[in-house]
Amino acid sequence: MRWRKIKKNRAGSVDKKSDDEIKVRYAGFWSRTMGITTDMFIIGLPVSLLMMLLFGRDQMESAGAIDVFTHTEAAQINAPDPLASILQILIWMGITVFLWRKTGQSPGMKMARIRVVDAKTLERASLIKLVVRFLGYLVSFLSLIGFFIGLFRKDKRALHDLLSGTAVIYEKDAGN
């Protein structure tokens, strides 16, 4: 190795940091979509079954969230129990945020080999940022465009990532 290269590597962490930033691969739309779709089944389905056990089968046949927001006839005839709906969201949020905080991944993200991190440090995100991120999912869902913002950004961050200060990146290969 030449002396100039050794000296350059010792010169400061700025060069190393800029090298690391170049190596970051932000997770794409389809990887993220696969992750959240998988989580709907792995986390959402058991939570829904728990709600059915706690509140009865009628709760599962009540109107969905979209019916309530659009004020359809189904929402007026068979309105959902607000307590059950709020509890379902809180349980789902608790499980998801716990997994994000502990490992940086939900089961769907693990399958897609992606991880949620703090957007500035690329380290594990704080608990508050992760809670805001989950609540941002609801905002992204209601606006729908929130999920698609990432298609037009270089860092591929969606609305919920922008609101919470998080990013989703691909895991580094085990060989690297």
- End-to-end, the C-alpha distance of the chain in Å comes to 21
**Would the pTM count as exceeding 0.75?**
yes
Write down the mean pLDDT value for the chain.
Answer: 82
**Model confidence at 65: pLDDT above 80:** no
Residue 7: its pLDDT value, please? Answer: 46
Residue 173: its pLDDT value, please? Answer: 43
- Digit-coded pLDDT (tens) for 118-171: 999 999 999 999 999 999 988 998 888 999 998 999 999 999 999 999 999 998
Domain ranges of the chain: 25-170
Residue 76: its pLDDT value, please? Answer: 72
Q: How many CA atoms does the CB half-sphere of 174 hold within 13 Å?
A: 1
Six-digit token string for 55? 């509140």
Residue 21: its pLDDT value, please? Answer: 47
Element (H, E) at 166: strand 166-170
Distances (CA, A) of 112 to 32, 35, 85, 137, 174: 7, 6, 28, 18, 15
Residue 92: its pLDDT value, please? Answer: 94
Residue 48: its pLDDT value, please? Answer: 86
- Among 4-13, 53-62, 116-125, 127-136, which stretch is predicted with the lowest mean pLDDT? 4-13
